[in-house]
Structure 1
Amino acid sequence: MGGKYRITGDKYPRMRRPRRRGRLVLGVVASVAALSLVGWGTLQLIDVFTGGGDEASAVGSKAGCKTKAGAAPSPSASAAPLPKPGQITVNVLNATARGGLAKKTADELKKRGFKIGDVGNATATYDKKVKGTGILLGPSTALKTSLPVLRTQLASAETRTDTRKGAEVDLIIGTGFKSLSTKAAADKALAALSASGRAAPKKSCG
């Protein structure tokens, strides 16, 4: 070329390609994502070998401890223990025409460890109106406590509840009454009742 556009010297200008910063940014993002994925995978492996961490603990707490037999605890496990005969006050009332029956029965119950309250004739509501061996009467709170214990002494008696406020219970002797259950039979029934009422399945959380 000539004229004023003539090129002099022995070096020629080189055209550089523009830097592609987009590829560099993409590479950085991909590296960060890969590192995050590796870290997440490591945490998952730790959870597997340690039993699930906090999540496993939460699941275990919701499931609750089971008994050694693998079943849920029975209601008797949380039931209050049954009272002993010495903690129960019994009113012995005679609803029959036979005299002295209430005192004789009360004396026997006392020998067997029960506390004795009133002894005498039944009220007009029950006098001469109890056809069976007897009625065990008490507040609703005694239905699963004092009354079952007293019933071990007269297995054939009927159990009822009323609206009384106190904890005392009544043994109302009926026309079919002959005697209390034998002491041996009563003791056996009381032992079985106490075992079923107090026994609680052992819990196992291991």
Structure 2
Amino acid sequence: MGGKYRITGNKYPHMRRPRRRGKLILTVTASVVALGLAGWGTLQLIDVFTGGDQKAGAADHAAACPSAKPSEPAKALPAPAKITVNVYNATPRSGLAKKAADELKKRGFTIGEVGNAPAAYDKKVPGPGVLLGAPSATKGSFPVLGTQLEGAVSKTDARRTADVDLILGTKFTALRTPQSAAAALAALTKPAPAPSC
């Protein structure tokens, strides 16, 4: 090259941009702020979805959810002694009805008739059993008696009496253990938990 761009001597000029520390500091600061905001937002989302902020007391909950009731009262279910149970055997195995009736009597139920199932159900109950009674039994006797036999199906008929039939089916082996039945009965009578908003 000639003129003023002519290189003389043994040193070459260094052609680089001047350093701008201001832009570097600004970029680093903006990155740190952005990361901080992202972390804070993540923590807020975690708190929202896990209920981490438990400082809001019952008053805050009541204000946010005015229709929530503390809990529903325990269900008024009849005591086993007030339930008359007719026990019928719908299987080809003999003696099941009497055995089940004796066990239910030990557990406090009043026993009515004991014998073979009527023709409409005889050898036609594939499951463990059927609870049969008036429509009013669905909210009273059925839940209480149902705690004694797991898997029993509830059906209603046109009867006007308060007694309930327990028809033992093909898959019947035994009633629940007294401890398991008592736990299921206790669960029925507990108050319902408060609804969440």
TM-score, L = length of structure 1? 0.59
For residue 71 of structure 1, the aligned residue among 56, 67, 70 is 67
For residue 126 of structure 1, the aligned residue among 103, 115, 121 is 121
Please say if 1:180 is aligned against 2:182: no
Three-state SS of the structure 2 residue aligned to 1:143 is: helix
Q: Which residue of 2 is the match for residue 116 of structure 1?
A: 111
For residue 186 of structure 2, the aligned residue among 191, 196, 200 is 191
Please say if 1:159 is aligned against 2:158: no
Q: Matched residues in 1 for 2:119 and 2:72: separation?
A: 38
Gap change, CA 1:119 and 1:74, over 3 Å in 2: farther
Q: Matched residues in 2 for 1:156 and 1:72: separation?
A: 34
- Deviation of 1:194 (Å): 1.2
- Deviation of 1:195 (Å): 1.3
- Structure 2 stretches of 5 or more lacking a match? 1-61
Q: Matched residues in 2 for 1:72 and 1:121: separation?
A: 50
For residue 104 of structure 1, the aligned residue among 93, 99, 102 is 99
Q: Matched residues in 1 for 2:116 and 2:70: separation?
A: 42
Gap change, CA 1:74 and 1:132, over 3 Å in 2: farther
Runs of 4+ in 1 over 4 A off after TM superposition: 72-77
Three-state SS of the structure 2 residue aligned to 1:113 is: coil
Larger radius of gyration: 1
> Does the CA-based 8 Å contact 2:80-2:108 persist in structure 1?
yes
Gap change, CA 1:76 and 1:118, over 3 Å in 2: farther
- Structure 1 stretches of 5 or more lacking a match? 1-65, 202-206
Which one-letter code corresponds to 1:144 in the other structure?
K
Q: Matched residues in 1 for 2:124 and 2:131: separation?
A: 14
> Does the CA-based 8 Å contact 2:77-2:141 persist in structure 1?
yes
Deviation readout 1:129-159 (Å, 9 max, x if unpaired): 0010000111100101110000000121111
Q: Which residue of 2 is the match for residue 86 of structure 1?
A: 81
Three-state SS of the structure 2 residue aligned to 1:82 is: coil
Please say if 1:142 is aligned against 2:142: no
> Does the CA-based 8 Å contact 2:89-2:117 persist in structure 1?
yes
- Deviation of 1:70 (Å): 3.9
TM-score, L = length of structure 2? 0.61
Q: Matched residues in 2 for 1:188 and 1:137: separation?
A: 23
Once superposed, what is the RMSD of the aligned Cα atoms?
Answer: 2.3
